[in-house]
Amino acid sequence: MNDKIKHIIAGFLISGLVGFFLHGLIVFIPALIAGLAKEFVWDKWMKRGTFEWKDIYFTCWGGLTATILWYFF
């Protein structure tokens, strides 16, 4: 599976699960934090992967999609 698709799915699942406990646009924030933490901490500082801004973008994209679904439904 493509790495970017994994980031979209991860962001979607994070925000989707948080949506059961929180409401509104705040549901997006955990996906944003997870995307930033994974790229900066795991990839850049710990050197366990390759840091890519696009990975943060795609994680946030998945989180935003779940947030929009929670917000309207």
In this predicted structure, what is the pLDDT of residue 73? 86
By C-alpha distance, which of 61, 69, 59, 62 is closest to 33?
A: 59
Tell me the pLDDT tens digit for each residue of 16-71. 999 999 988 899 999 999 999 999 999 999 999 999 999 999 999 999 999 999 99
Q: Which residues of 22-52 are buried (b: 16+ CB within 10 A; e: fewer)?
A: eeeeebbebbbebbeebbeeebeeeeeeeee
Q: pTM for the whole thing? A: 0.92
Amino acid in the structure at residue 47:
K
| Orientation angle between helical segments 29-37 and 3-18, nearest 10 degrees | 140
